[in-house]
Amino acid sequence: MQSKEIICTACPIGCHLTAHRDKNAKGGYRIEGYSCKRGISYALAELTDPRRILTSTVRVVNSTHKRLPVRTAEAIPKDKIFQCMQEVNRIAVKSPVKMGDILIKNIADTGIDLISSRDIK
Ligand code: SF4
């Protein structure tokens, strides 16, 4: 039987989960080691559709701040991170920018926007 170790990051406790392949279990895996049910959802999402919030910076062309912190508005599929970073590295912004402004709509066809993480004047 195939199994995989996963650390749950849904809360600061960080339970050490083990996912065992089991065709009879919900989602195709039997999960052990969780302290609450969020651990089960976390493990199944991590095994079937792993996602991360992408954080980075982009160049600012007309400010004393040379870089603007940015992030995706929601978690994006992990396998799209490289493609998203290519788009992030291609853009430069002009101030003023407000926190939450959309800088790239539907980045890398994820359906999720890249937004500013802060204001710059
Ligand atoms: S399983 Fe529950 S208690 Fe454990 S880290 Fe995940 S969310 Fe926290």
**Contact indicator for 86, 46 with CB cutoff of 8 Å:** no
What are the pocket residues of ligand 1 if the criterion is a CB atom closer than 6 Å to any ligand atom? 8, 10-11, 13-15, 34-36, 38-39, 42
| pLDDT tier at 2, thresholds 50, 70, 90 | confident
- Summarize pLDDT for 26-84 with one digit per residue, the tens: 889 999 999 999 999 999 999 999 999 999 999 999 888 899 999 999 999 999 999 99
Helices (H) and strands (E) in the chain, counts: 2, 10
So where are the chain's domains?
3-48, 55-116
Question: Which tokens belong to 66?
Answer: 């040379």
Q: Measuring from atom 3 of ligand 1, which residue has the nearest CA? A: 35
Closest residue by Cα to atom 6, ligand 1, is 39
Side-chain half-sphere CA neighbours of 110 within 13 A: 27
CA of 55 to the centre of ligand 1 (A): 24
Containing H/E element for 14? none
Tell me: pLDDT of 4 over 60.
yes
Give the distance (Å) from ligand 1 centre to CA of residue 4.
Answer: 17
pTM for the predicted model, two decimal places: 0.83
Phi, psi dihedrals of residue 2, rounded to the nearest 5°: -80, 140
Q: What is the pLDDT of residue 72?
A: 98
In the chain, what is the greatest distance between 2 CA atoms, to the nearest angstrom? Answer: 59
For the domain covering 55-116, report its CATH number: 3.10.530.10
Taking the CA of residue 40 as reference, the ligand 1 atom at the shortest distance is 1
